[in-house]
């Protein structure tokens, strides 16, 4: 599959005000700076569909895009950004979680993890929450161009082992790079196949 059209539909802060759930939806989240905006641009062949910001943590609404007139991408605010006041951060996290739990047409939540850094408590806890709440999700290991194959395998092992301390089985993990566009085809194929199961 190729993404031919990506139309911005609107911004919202809760499920009630979001576009009606008539299309399958794929949502993107992750710690601020994990590479979410860059990945969305890469997938949709845009330079700036979601403003690739030098100021992480800026997006504080849920932004919907209708892709190929066929499915939604939902760009969720990044979580855990230290420069936002704690109360605001907690509010955002509550909003994200409420949305994820309540969105009926959510086919898959893409949870972005920066492949270069060791497992972060906030990510592990978030993934645990996804499991407890039976949210369909996969993990995207981002910025893989920054690592050698050996380093990437090593970081993946560390991450997997961390998850295995609480998980019996592991979620799917995709490798992506917005820089060299790796992972794009696999991810779009995954979406294309998942779309077929929606209707």
Between CA 156 and CA 12 the distance in angstroms is: 34
Closest distance between ligand GDP and the C-beta of residue 161, in Å?
A: 24
Token pair for residue 51?
């403003």
Min dist. Cβ of residue 164 to ligand GDP (A)? 26
Please, which residue, 21 or 156, has the CB nearer to ligand GDP? 156
Helix axes 149-164, 121-132, angle to 10 degrees: 50
Looking at the Cβ atoms of 115 and 195, the one nearer to ligand GDP is 115
Does residue 37 contact residue 46 with C-beta atoms inside 8 Å? no
Nearer to ligand GDP, 153 or 166 (CB): 153
Q: Give the integer Cα–Cα distance in Å for 16 and 69.
A: 21
Nearer to ligand GDP, 160 or 179 (CB): 179
Angle, vertex CA 59, rays to CA 56 and CA 63, nearest 5: 145
Q: How far apart are CA 45 and CA 62, in angstroms?
A: 20
Rounded Cα gap, residues 54 and 45, in angstroms = 20
Cβ closest to ligand GDP, residue 101 vs residue 179: 179
Q: Which residues bind ligand GDP (CB under 6 A)?
A: 30, 32-38, 52-53, 56, 78, 142-143, 145-146, 177-179
The nearest distance, CB 37 to ligand GDP, in angstroms, is 3
């Amino acid at each position: 599959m190729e993404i031919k059209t990506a139309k911005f539909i609107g911004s919202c802060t809760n499920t009630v005000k979001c576009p009606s759930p008539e299309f399958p939806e794929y949502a993107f989240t992750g710690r601020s700076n994990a590479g979410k905006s860059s990945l969305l641009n890469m997938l949709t062949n845009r330079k700036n569909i979601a403003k690739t910001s030098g100021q992480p943590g800026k997006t504080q609404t849920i932004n919907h895009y209708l892709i190929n007139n066929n499915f939604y991408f939902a760009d969720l605010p990044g979580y855990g950004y230290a420069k936002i006041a704690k109360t605001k951060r907690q509010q955002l996290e509550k909003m994200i979680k409420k949305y994820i739990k309540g969105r009926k047409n959510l086919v898959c939540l893409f949870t972005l993890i920066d492949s270069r850094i060791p497992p972060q408590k906030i990510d592990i806890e978030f993934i645990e929450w996804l499991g407890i709440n039976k949210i369909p999700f996969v993990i995207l290991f981002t910025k893989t161009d920054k690592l050698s194959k050996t380093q990437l395998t090593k970081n993946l092992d560390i991450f997997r082992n961390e998850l295995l301390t609480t998980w019996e089985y592991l979620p799917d993990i995709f490798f992506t790079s917005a820089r060299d566009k790796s992972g794009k085809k696999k991810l779009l194929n995954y979406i294309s196949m998942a779309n077929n199961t929606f209707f």
